[in-house]
């Protein structure tokens, strides 16, 4: 069986089922300022850094003719909602067993996430199995220049593992994340969320129904 030099994992929507909770938090925050978000808008926020999402939501609020709050005010409404919701996030199907198989096979692993270090620590609390991944790149990493869909998160993760990105397998769920991984040159596996058009993803990705489908 062909094996990757390393596996680079997204977190939200790939290892933990947090995306419906993120969407609910953005919905409640934007609605607080008078601008409910459509399902398509909520899907487009997936996989992106919190500050990038906040900028996008502010733009939508402004485009509706409303006075947009600054990012700080928007996030002040959103963060307590999100933090309370995140503790309820269950693992995605097959996530824990895939990490355990990689660990048993001594395949190096890294986390390549848009989430901040503090947010990852918070979400990981109920999931000690995520501790199998010790090398991590967070959205607020001081060495990170640009968030997904730019390739930097995956390039930095590969660099920290001492491997070339093009020899890595990346695992993603969002169009922004899959685009980032493809631009980094990884072999990209996608567990696509329901409701997302496959045409939003880069060409050449490998589709999985769940992480249980992977032959590692």
Shortest spacing between CB 37 and Mg ion, in angstroms: 18
From the list 7-15, 33-41, 130-138, 192-200, the region that binds Mg ion by CB under 5 A is 7-15
Shortest spacing between CB 10 and Mg ion, in angstroms: 4
Q: Which of 13, 147, 151, 175 binds Mg ion (CB under 5 A)?
A: 13
Shortest spacing between CB 201 and Mg ion, in angstroms: 12
Q: Which DSSP string do the residues of the chain spell out, in sequence order?
A: ----SEEEE--BTTTB--HHHHHHHHHHHHHHTT-PPPHHHHHHTTTS-HHHHHHHHHHHHHHTTSPPPPHHHHHHHHHHHHHHHHTTPPBPTTHHHHHHHHHHTT--EEEE-SS-HHHHHHHHTT-GGGGG--EEE-TT-TT----TTSTHHHHHHHHHHTS-GGGEEEEE-SHHHHHHHHHHTPEEEEEPPTT--GGGSPTTPEEESSGGG---
Query: Which residue lies nearer to Mg ion by CB, 105 or 121?
Result: 121
From the list 41-49, 117-125, 181-189, 193-201, the region that binds Mg ion by CB under 5 A is 41-49
From the list 2-10, 35-43, 69-77, 182-190, the region that binds Mg ion by CB under 5 A is 2-10
Ranked by CB distance to Mg ion, the top (closest) residue is 13
Joined tokens for residue 153: 């998160």
Q: Which of 30, 44, 115, 174 binds Mg ion (CB under 5 A)?
A: 174
Active site residue 12: yes
Contact between 173 and Mg ion by CB under 5 A: the answer reads yes
Binding residues vs Mg ion (CB under 5 A)? 10, 12-13, 47, 173-174, 177
- Residues known to be catalytic: 10, 12
């Amino acid at each position: 069986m062909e094996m990757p030099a390393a596996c680079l994992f997204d977190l939200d929507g790939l290892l933990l089922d947090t995306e419906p909770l993120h969407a609910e938090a953005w919905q409640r925050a934007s609605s607080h300022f008078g601008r409910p978000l459509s399902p398509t808008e909520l899907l487009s926020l997936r996989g992106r850094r919190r500050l990038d999402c906040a900028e996008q939501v502010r733009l939508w609020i402004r485009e509706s003719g409303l006075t947009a709050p600054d990012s700080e005010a928007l996030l002040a409404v959103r963060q307590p909602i999100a933090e309370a919701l995140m503790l309820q996030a269950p693992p995605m199907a097959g996530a824990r067993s895939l990490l355990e198989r990689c660990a048993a096979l001594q395949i190096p692993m890294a986390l390549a996430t848009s989430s901040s270090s503090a947010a990852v620590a918070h979400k990981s609390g109920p999931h000690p199995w995520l501790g199998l991944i010790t090398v991590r790149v967070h959205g607020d990493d001081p060495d990170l220049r640009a968030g997904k869909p730019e390739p930097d998160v995956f390039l930095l993760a590969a660099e920290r593992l001492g491997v070339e990105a093009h020899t890595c397998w990346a695992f993603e769920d969002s169009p922004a994340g899959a685009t980032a991984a493809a631009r980094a040159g990884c072999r990209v596996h996608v567990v696509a969320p329901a409701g997302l058009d496959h045409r939003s993803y880069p060409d050449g990705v490998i589709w999985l129904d769940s992480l249980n489908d992977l032959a590692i």
